[in-house]
Structures are given as structure tokens and as C-alpha cells.
Amino acid sequence: MNLLSDPVGVSHYLVVGALLFTTGVVCMVVKRNALGVLMGIELVLNGANVNFVAFGSPVLRGEQASLLGLDGQAMALFVILLAAAEAAVALAITLNFYNNHATVDVDRADDLKG
Amino acid sequence: MELVETDLGATLSTLLGLAWLIPLGSFVAILFFGPKMGPHGRNSAWVATGAIGTSFVLSLFAFGNWMVTHPPVSGHHGDDHGVSEEAGHDDHAAWDVQDRAGKTPASFVNFAEEHGEAASDGHADEHGDDHAEAHAADGHAEHHDDHGHGEHAAEKIAYSGDWYRLYSSPSLVLSIGWYIDSLTVFLFVMVTFIATCIHVYASGYMHDELHDITDHEVTLASGEHLHRPGRFPRFFQALSLFCFSMLGIVIAGNLAMVFMFWELVGICSWFLIGFYFERKSASTAANKAFIVNRVGDFGMLIGLMALWGALGTLHFGDSVSVDADGHQVVQPGLFSLVRPAENGHALQVPDGMVVAAAANRVGDIASVVSPEEARAVVEEQVSGWRARGYGNWLLVIAGLGIFCGCMGKSAQVPLHVWLPDAMEGPTPVSALVHSATMVAAGVYLTGRFYPVLSPDVLVVIAYIGAITLFIAATIALVCTDIKRVLAYSTVSQLGYMMLALGLGGWVAGLFHLVTHAFFKSLLFMCSGSVIHACHTNDMRRMGGLLKKMPYTGWTMLVGCLAIIGAGIPFSLGGLHIGLSGYYSKDAILAQALVYSRVNESHALLWYAAAGGAAMTAFYMFRLWFMTFLGEPRDEHVAEHVHESPAVMTAPLVVLAVMAVIAGWSIGPLGVAALLEQARPLGTAAGMTGGGLLTAAVTVPAEAASHAPEVHVYATWVAFATASSGVLLAAVFYVWRLINPGLIATTLRPVYTFLENKWYFDEIYEWIFVKPAHGVAMLASANDRGIIDSILHLVAWASRQLAAVDAWVDRVVVDGVVNTLASVTWSSGLRLRDLQTGRLRQYVMFIVVGTVAIFLLASMMLSTTVASP
Amino acid sequence: MMQALVATHTLLAAGSPGINWHGFFFLLFALLACGLALAVVLADNVVRMAFYLVLSLGATAGLFFLAGAEFVGAMQLMIYVGGTLVLLIFGVMLTAQEPFVAIRTSTRDKVLAGVVGGALLAVLLQAALTGPAWSGHTAVDASAGVSQPTATPLGMALVGVRVDGDVASGQPSPVDGQVRSGYLLPFEIVSVHLLVVLVGAAYLARTKRRKSSASVRDEALTGVVR
């Protein structure tokens, strides 16, 4: 199968989702800035969202019914909402961390080290 | 009439019940709050005195109620001492009163006929050939007939009932109840009165206890004297409890309750004798009193069992209850069972005892016929069995058993040994507990239980009483400790009371109980005052105290005169004048004289009583002369002597007045007449019986002793013996015509024998204490040698086993657990390295983990796929 | 921009043979999204990272439009790009002091991350490309590409009424009788959740009045005395 020649299908979206997801994870791993980690998380969620939308899309599978139908899109909506909530809380935590440690370097947040 | 009487019963039971319970309240209050009552608990004396004073007032109310409702008819005692010439006339008056009360003469005539026959028969059998002796009794019987049976007409008035039933079953009812007759009411007044006096006296006497005390009679191991805090509240606490217990005995409506309070009195006595418990002598005396009393109580328990087992009730009086159908059911009490009304209140062995004794025959009957028929047959047979003597022994055992308890409490030989030692307690205790009230409990119970006592038992009682009075009097002759003289005199007087009861002198015995309570508490409190002043009990170091202690000296003289029965032995214008002891002791002597005339083989009792009177006079005046007259023998003691404070002398004066007038009767009012009201039914006429323990005896009617011929003789004998005793004492100790020391030397063996109290303590030591010690040593050796060694072996084996077990524990069990713990610990240590606390690394782990799971899963799947 | 995209889509649906506009736009947005995401990873400056992220998310919204999920795409733009990222940028600005703007990561970490990320990507791609349900030819016929807009059914579903077709059959469901639940309850839960989270976040991020240690000690002492 050839991604480039084939008409756009679910697999294409899944590839994009995988790329976004992986980028997010790598972002989380390499960024020492807490906000960078946060952005990584956003990317991960976004990648997941792409998958949801792809599975729920009425377009991508043509005559076949979509895998999830409207559920996929609803799920994507909820994920967006949860991402917003998560961003708010994470930002608050980051600010707290910053207030307490005077830094946003997550490597310094090792108080729970074993 | 019925209604009024019921009301009076309720009123009396309420008043006396309150009077009985208030000291308990005082006890509880002092028990819990005593030390907080004023400095050093000073106010506890007021609480206790107030309580007993309130009881006294309530008792007086009850007494007044009684006197208004049942005014005493002038009995025989009243006339004999007051207006002896008009005895016959007064009897008419008495009978008139009863007539007005609405009794039916016809029924009494019946009684009279039966009873007259019985009495005549008895005399015909026993003393048919002795007209002179029999005359008194016969005359008494005739007298009954002439006067419409006055004795029986004076029907005993008694109220009984239950406050609370502790336990109830068909075979036994245990209850807190009352039995109130004039004896109860009067004893309440007497006990509370004397107790009030003694409480007041004690609040002065015990003031040493208000602060710390150095007890010079206790030497510690360090060689110092004991120093201890005062125990003022504790003393009054025990006194209150004692008053409660004593009043409980008096008001008790059944023998079980009597027994309960009997024991309470015993424990109070133990507390009070052992008040100075640091002194070895005091604690030993307390234990001795307690243990000796237990010996008596053992007998009492046997008596209780005999009564309960055979009769199924311990109530004195009949108890009325309402059954399911609404009918009144009268459950006969002990008195009705033993002296049933159908039998003219004459003593007969109750059915229950006959049946119990004839158990074999009952069994034979029951094995043949059905239970209902058997019951009927048994009922038919009972009177036949009774005639053949079944159950006589049971009645004797019951009587002797109860009397055994009385012996312990009233210090009769051979259980008298505790009373002199009990003088170790503080003197107010001696006065209250060991002269006036507690020891009186035994006499009281004998009097209360009198209807149930058979002639055999009465003979035993009389002999015990006579022996006691004689032995105690002889010991008192040589005592030098002032309190011990009084203690032995108490024992002796208690012997008199028992003697009187045993001889059939019911009123005489209890009369003496009352008068004795007054003058003996007076004497004890005087001696307490002397001891308080001299700080010694030894009469040989006293002398010439009269000038320095006038109140004490003169009131004590009054007490001495009262106890020897001083009085004018002839009638002055129809009046016999004398101190209280005069009346009561004369009554006893007269009864003894009558008895010895009726039963010649028992004449010894009369001689013992008369001789005892002489000795009483001698030792009492020996005491008084040695203490108050002559020159001081010990300058050191005499220097510090002073009269006691008013709080102590005031009760002395009050009691002295009572000791003078307690025996007087004004018209029909007098103690004797009052007691006559309480005379148990059917005991007025005397009885004949016995044959089990002694040859048959005739217990003469008490009225016989009031015959002028007997009474005048007895009075003169009493006067002669008493005055000879006083004269002899004066010869020895005032005029010093004879040196008492010389007599002692001359009669050395006798003197030593008496000084050692007839060696009772030594005999008991050898007979009871030493063997008990021997048995105890054997038991102890057995314990130590055999049982202990077995135990040690077992213990040793256990230790060895335990050692093995410990090794297993330490090595195996602990090893496993420790290994587990250390493994957990070290793996934890290693794993903690993973917890770097670095967020990014964790993310990495997640990713690696996810990938790894994926790879693993795909490998597994591929193998799963490949395997088929 | 949204209207332009919708217009494009309509245009695509109308179908103009020659250029596969659908494929073209997909490729464009996909490259943008992935490239900008990569830029987020590679950028050192946090402000730039935020900017790249905004663009990446916007491009993803475009992908959603292409997939026929207009409503989700719109929400992506409004909530994500408009809300969340504003929040993020606020955070960046609040903490963007000189030392923290660019915190360098050690090369070793980067290499390690690359290796691990590559492994993960390999796994994911393998899954994306070999999944039986969606692999193979699932071409979108350009002419048949006209689909009903999904905004209305989705909105109806969120208030509890389903008007879309059955998932399995793809047929529009008969409205009569058959009850199919909407998303009203999850919707409510999520909304309350959002509210709670916002309150919590406000609480966490509030300015704390720092107590001096002395006053703390005093309070403890008085507490003991009381």
C-alpha cells in the first residue's frame, strides 16, 4: 500500500497521529522546562485526538460506515475539554512549583526521590 | 378496733423503721464524707449524734403512740413493788380493762379450764406429796380461774409484717420485716437513749483522735512509738453502723434477718474492739471476739436449719397474704406453730417437726398409697406420733442452736472469754457495745425466741447462766484492771439474765436487761472518765479520787448501788423503795427461789444466784473503794487527775438518774408492766416437761414469784447478801481491818486460780489453739514438702521444655521472619535507586515499558499463532 | 479561515477532476502539523515552542475539517488554540525569566530520547499501517465525498437526542421509537469537571501570603496553650 498514492484514508490519519504522539512523548522527555513538558502533553493528546476523529470520520472510509461514528467525534470533544482542564491545573502546579523553587526546571523537582 | 390496730402497726413500723435506718444514713455519710466534715472530721460526731438522737426522738414518738393506744395494765411486777398489798384488787382492774376491750370471756374460760387442769396434773404427778411447795403454783392456777383467766386475757399485742421480700419460694421466704411489741418499742427507746448518751460522751472522750497521735502502747521495730493520724470520723462511722445493726436485731421480723444483723453487730464489734489495731493486744482481742462469736453462730446456724428444714418459715409472727382468689391466707409464724392457739398456746412440738422426725414412717405410708391419701394419713397420724415423742429432739436442737448463738453474743460460759479482752476498745465502745446493747442482743433473742424453747432447753439455759454468773463473779473478785472488773461484772449480770430466762422469769430477765443497760453503761462511762483522768486502768495506782472527781465518783456510787440492788427491803407505806437494780435482781432471785422450791434437785441455782449477789456487792464496792476512797497510792497519777469535761459528765448524770428510776413504777406505768404486755403467749402459766436432757422439770409460772411469802424472803436474802458483800469490801479496803494481801497469800492456790480466770484461756489454748496449730503445721509441712516439690518438679520440667521451645523460636521462627524482613529490606534498598525523582526519566520508562509490552505481546501472539 | 476551509471542502465535494484537492490539503496540513510539532521539540526557546505549538494545533484543526468533523475542528481552534494556548502563553510569560527561557538538555538525553521515540514511532506506525480494520483500500470517492455536516447531529447528541445513523449499518436511524442515548450525561459530567478544575486551579495558583516562621511558631504555641 502506498500512502502517497492512495486516496486519503484512516491509515493516513493514523500515521499523522502517531507522529504527533511520538513528538509529544519526545518533547516530554527532552524538555527540562516544565512548560515544555506541558506542551508535550498537549501534543500527545492532540495525536490521540487525531486518531479519534479518524475513526469517527464519516468521510474517510467512504461507503463503509465509520468505525466509531459520532462517538469518535464526541470523544475528541471531551478530550479537548479534558486537555483544557489539565492545562489549567498543570499550569497552576507549575506556578506553584515556580513559587516554591524559584525555577521551572523539572529536574530540580526531585523531592520524592527514593 | 381492727382498723386502729392496723394503723398503729403501720405507724410504728414507719417510725421505728426510720429510727432504724437513720444511723445507716449517718454511717454512709461519714463513710463517704467523714474526713471532709470540718477540721479532722470533727463534725462527724455531730452527724452521728444527730442521727442517733433523731432515732431516739422517733423511738419516743413510737413509745408515746404505744402508751396511748395500749396503756399498760398494772401487771404483777407493778403491784408487787408499788402497792403489793393491793395486788388482788389491781388484777381486777386489769381484767376490767380487758373486758372493756371487748374480748369474749367465754373463750378465756375454756382456756382457763384446760390450763388449770394441765397445771394441776403436772403438780399431782411431780409434787403430789409436797403440798407446801406446790401451793404457790396451784394458787396461781386458781387465781386464774377466779379472775376469769386474767393472764390469758391480757392477750399479747404484736404487729408484724414485711417491708421487702428478698427471696420468695414455696419453701422459704426471706424478707426484711418487723415484729413490734412493747419489748421492741421499749428496747428501741433504751438502745437509742443510751447510744445517744454515749455518742455525746464519746465526742468528748475521743477528742485525742482529732489530731495526730503518738500511741505509747505501740513500739515499732525502730524503737519509736507509733505516730499516726487521728481516726475520729472512723470511730463514729462504726458507732453508727453498730446502732443500725443493733436496732435491726431488735426490730427484725424473722430469724434470718436477726441472723444478718447479728453478724453485722459482730463485724461492728470487730471494728470497734480493734479500733487501736496497731496494738497487738487490740487486734488479737478483736479477732478473738469475732472467732468466739463464730463458734456460737455455728450453733445458731444449726438451729436455723432445724427450724427452716422442719417448719419452712423463719418468721416470728403470722404473716397474712392474699392469694390468687383474693382470700386472706394466714401463714403461721414460728410462735403460732410451736404454741398454737387451738392448744391454748401451750407448747407442743409442731407438726412439721413431728413429720420430719417421723420421716421413715411417712416414707412407709407414701410407698403404699397415693400422695393425696398419704397426706391425709399423715395428718391423721401426727398427733399419735407427737404423743410418742417424735420431734421432741428436733425442738430441743432448734432451741439449743439458737441459744448457742445467744451464748456467743452474750458471753456465756464457755464462750465468755472474748468479752473481757474486748475492753481493749475505747471505753465508749465498752459502754455501748459490750455492756448495754450488743451483749444484750443475746439475752434479747433468747427472750424473743422464748416461746419456742422447751423445758429441756430452759434447764440448760438456767445452768449456763448460773455457771456464768458464778465464774465471772469469782474472777471479778481479784481483778485489778478497773475495766476488767466491770467486764466480768457484765458477764456475771448476763448470767443472771440467762438464769432468769431459764427459770421461767421472762419479765425478770428482760427487766434486768433494761436496768442493767442503764447502770452498766453508767459504770463504764465513769470508769472511762477515771481512765481518761488517770491514764491507767490499774486500780492499785488509784485511790482518793472522790475529791478531785466528784461528779464521776458520786455517779459511779449510784451505779454501784444500782448493780448490787440496793433498796429498802421492807414496805414503806405500801411502797418498796430502791434503785433500779433492786427491782430486777429481786425479781430474779424470787424466781430462782420459786424454781428451787418446785424442783428441789435444782436448788443449786438458787444458791448460785444468792451467792453471786454477795460477790457482786463485794467486787463492785471493792472497785469503788479502791478508786475513790483512801489515800492516793500513786502520787504521779494523782497529780494529774482532774474532773472530765461537761460533755462527758453530763451523760453520766443523766444515766445516773436513769439508773435510779428505771425500775420505778408509778401506778400501772413501769418497765415491768410494759414488758408484761410483751410476754409471749402461753408462757405466763409455767409448764412441765423435759426428760430428754434432764429429769422432768416444772417451770413455775412467773406470777408465783410475786407471792408475798416468796418475794419478801427473796428480798431479805438479797439485802443480806448485798450488805454483807459491801461490809466485807469495807472491811478489806476502807477500814483495813484485814489485809487483802494476807488473804491472797493464805489462799494462794485459789487466788492464783481466780487471777488466771479459771485458766479458761490456757485450757482453750491447749485444747483448741495448740491442736489447730499442730494440724496447721502438718498441713504446712505437707504443703511445703510434698505439694511444693511436685510443683517445683513440674516447674522445672516446664522450664526445660520452654528452653527447647525458645531455641526453636529464636532459630527457626525468628530466622524465617528475619530472613523475609531482610530480603524485603535489601530489595527495597535496591529498588529505591529506580525512584530517581526525575520526571523525564519516568516518561522514558513509560515509553520503554509500552514498547516492551508491545514487543512482548506481539512475540507471544506470533508464537501462539505459530504453535498450531 | 474556517469559512475558507468550509468553502474549500464544498469545492472539493463539488469535485474538480485533476488535482486531488483533498489529498493535497491533507498532505499540506499533515506536513504542517508534524513539522511544527517537530519544531516544538527541537526549539530551545520556550516562547518559540509555544508559537510552533499553536501552529501545529491549528494545522491539526485543518485535518479535522478534512475528515468531516467540522464541529470538532472548530472546537479545536476555539478551545485549544484560543483557550488552552493562551493559558500556556500566560504561563510562559509569567515564568519566562532569562535563565529559564532556554534550558539546555544534555545531548545524551536527546539521543536517548531519539532512540526511544523512534522505537515508539516504529511500534505506532506498524500498528497504524497493519491494522486489519482500516488497512487496505478505503478510497474516498470524490463524488461520493459529499457527506452530511456532522455539527448538527453532534450538537443534538450533546443535548441527548441522536439523529445520526447507526454506527454498524451506516443508515440514518428511524427517529421514531428507537431510543439511543446521547451524550447529555457525559457532557454534564465534563462541564462540572471543568468547573471544579478551574476552581482548583485558581486555588492552587492563588497568591499565598507567606507567613513568617515567627508567627507560625507563635500560633503553634498559643495553640498548645489553648
B618 and B729 Cβ atoms separated by less than 8 Å: yes
Is B851–C112 a contact, with Cβ atoms under 8 angstroms apart? no
d(CA B661, CA B394): 43
C-alpha cell at B465: 447462766
Q: Is B172 on the interface with C (CB under 8 A)?
A: no
pLDDT at A102 over 70: yes
Burial grade of B215 (CB within 10 A; 0-12, 13-18, 19 or more): middle
Mutation site, B829, B834, B838, B840, interface A, largest A CB count within 10 A = B840
C-alpha cell at B497: 439474765
pLDDT at B316 over 70: yes
Task: Name chain A contacts of B833, Cβ cutoff 8 Å.
Answer: 114
DSSP state for residue B786 in the 8-state scheme: I
Query: Which residue in B has a C-alpha nearest to residue C126's C-alpha?
Result: B854
Task: Name chain C contacts of B850, Cβ cutoff 8 Å.
Answer: 120, 123
d(CA C48, CA C25): 25
Strands (E), B567-696: 665-666, 669-670, 687-689
Three-class secondary structure assignment of chain C? CHHHHHHHHHHHHHCCCCCCHHHHHHHHHHHHHHHHHHHHHHCCCHHHHHHHHHHHHHHHHHHHHHCCCHHHHHHHHHHHHHHHHHHHHHHHHHHCCHHHHCCCCCHHHHHHHHHHHHHHHHHHHHHHHHCCCCCCCCCCCCCCCCCCCCHHHHHHHHCCCCCCECCCCCCECCCCCCCCCCCHHHHHHHHHHHHHHHHHHHHHHCCCCCCCHHHHHHHHHHHHHC
Task: Name chain C contacts of A45, Cβ cutoff 8 Å.
Answer: none
Q: Provide the mean pLDDT of chain B.
A: 82
Q: Is B830 on the interface with A (CB under 8 A)?
A: no
* pLDDT tens, position by position, C150-201: 777 788 888 777 776 554 444 554 444 455 667 888 888 888 988 998 898 8
d(CA B792, CA B784): 10
d(CA B739, CA A93): 119
Is A37–B840 a contact, with Cβ atoms under 8 angstroms apart? yes
Task: Name chain C contacts of B855, Cβ cutoff 8 Å.
Answer: 123
Residue B753 pLDDT class (50, 70, 90 cuts): confident
Is B848–C116 a contact, with Cβ atoms under 8 angstroms apart? yes
Q: Report CA-CA distances (Å) from C178 to B56, B532, C140, C153, C166.
A: 101, 115, 31, 16, 11
d(CA B829, CA B738): 111
Nearest partner of B513 among B566, B447, B457, judged by Cα: B447
Which of A25, A28, A107 has the CB atom closest to B838's CB atom?
A: A107
d(CA A78, CA C79): 11
Exposure class string for B779-803: b at 16+ Cβ within 10 A, else e: eeeeeeeeeeeeeeeeeeeeeeeee
pLDDT at C214: 56
* pLDDT tens, position by position, B330-380: 888 888 888 888 877 888 888 888 888 888 888 888 888 888 888 888 888
> Mean pLDDT across the stretch B832-836?
82
- Within 8 A by CB and 6+ apart from A47, the residues are A16, A17, A18, A19, A20, A21, A22, A23, A24
Which of A10, A33, A78 has the CB atom closest to C103's CB atom?
A: A33
Query: Which residue in B has a C-alpha nearest to residue A30's C-alpha?
Result: B840
Q: What is the secondary structure of B522-575 as a DSSP string?
A: HHHHHHHHHHHHHS--BGGG----TTT-HHHHHHHHHHHHHHHT-B-SS-BTTB
Is B834–A114 a contact, with Cβ atoms under 8 angstroms apart? yes
User: Locate cell 429432739: which residue?
Assistant: B393
Q: Give the percent of chain C with pLDDT over 90.
A: 13
C-alpha cell at B227: 505516730
Q: Report CA-CA distances (Å) from A39 to A25, C74, C84, C89.
A: 10, 20, 10, 10
Q: CATH 1.20.120.1200: does it fit domain C1-104? A: yes
d(CA C150, CA C158): 12
Torsion, CA C64, CA C70, CA C72, CA C74, rounded to 10? 100
More confident residue, B129 or B156: B156
> Mean pLDDT across the stretch B850-863?
85
Query: Which residue in A has a C-alpha nearest to residue C202's C-alpha?
Result: A92
pLDDT at B244: 94
Residue type, B342: E
pLDDT at B862: 75
Q: Give the percent of chain A with pLDDT over 90.
A: 20
Nearest partner of B553 among B652, B433, B465, B416, judged by Cα: B652
HSE-CB at B350 with a 13 A cutoff on CA atoms is 27
pLDDT at B792 over 80: yes
Q: Is B835 on the interface with A (CB under 8 A)?
A: yes
Phi and psi at residue B387, in whole multiples of 5°?
A: -60, -30
Cβ of B33: how many Cβ atoms within 10 Å? 14
Cis peptide bond N-terminal to C132, omega within 30 = no
- Chain A contacts to B (CB-CB under 8 A): 25, 28-32, 37, 106-107, 109-114
C-alpha cell at B423: 475492753
pLDDT at B27: 94
Neighbors of chain B with 3 or more C-beta pairs under 8 Å? A, C
Task: Name chain C contacts of B848, Cβ cutoff 8 Å.
Answer: 116, 119
d(CA B627, CA A6): 146
d(CA A81, CA A45): 11
C-alpha cell at C106: 544534555
DSSP H or E stretch at residue B213:
strand B213-219
pLDDT at B142 over 50: no
C-alpha cell at C178: 428507537
**pLDDT tens by residue, chain C, 226 residues:** 555 555 555 555 544 455 677 888 888 999 999 999 999 999 888 888 888 999 999 999 999 988 888 888 998 898 888 877 788 788 888 777 777 777 788 888 889 889 999 999 998 888 888 766 565 444 444 444 455 677 777 888 887 777 765 544 445 544 444 556 678 888 888 889 889 988 988 888 777 666 555 555 555 555 544 4
pLDDT at A6: 65
A10-104 to CATH, choices 2.60.120.20, 3.40.190.10, 1.10.287.3510, 3.40.50.2300: 1.10.287.3510
C-alpha cell at B634: 500513786
Distance from CA of B830 to the nearest CA of C (A): 24
d(CA A67, CA A61): 9
pLDDT at B18: 92
Distance from CA of B852 to the nearest CA of C (A): 10
User: Locate cell 437526542: which residue?
Assistant: C161
Nearest partner of B587 among B509, B659, B515, judged by Cα: B509
Q: Report CA-CA distances (Å) from B672 to B434, B610, B668, B715.
A: 24, 22, 9, 17
pTM of the model: 0.63
Three-class secondary structure assignment of A6-64? CCCCHHHHHHHHHHHHHHHHHHHHHCCEHHHHHHHHHHHHHHHHHHHHHHHCCCCCCCC
Neighbors of chain C with 3 or more C-beta pairs under 8 Å? A, B
Residue-range domain boundaries for chain C: 1-104
Burial grade of B477 (CB within 10 A; 0-12, 13-18, 19 or more): middle
Cβ-Cβ pairs closer than 8 A, A with C, add up to 291
Is A83–C169 a contact, with Cβ atoms under 8 angstroms apart? no
Query: Which residue in C has a C-alpha nearest to residue A84's C-alpha?
Result: C84
pLDDT at B629: 87
ipTM of this predicted complex? 0.89
d(CA B744, CA B746): 5
Exposure class string for B644-670: b at 16+ Cβ within 10 A, else e: beeebbbbbbbbbebbbebbbbeebeb
Please compute Rg for chain B using Cα positions.
Answer: 37
pLDDT at B155 over 90: no
Strand partners, B329: B321
More confident residue, B801 or B695: B801
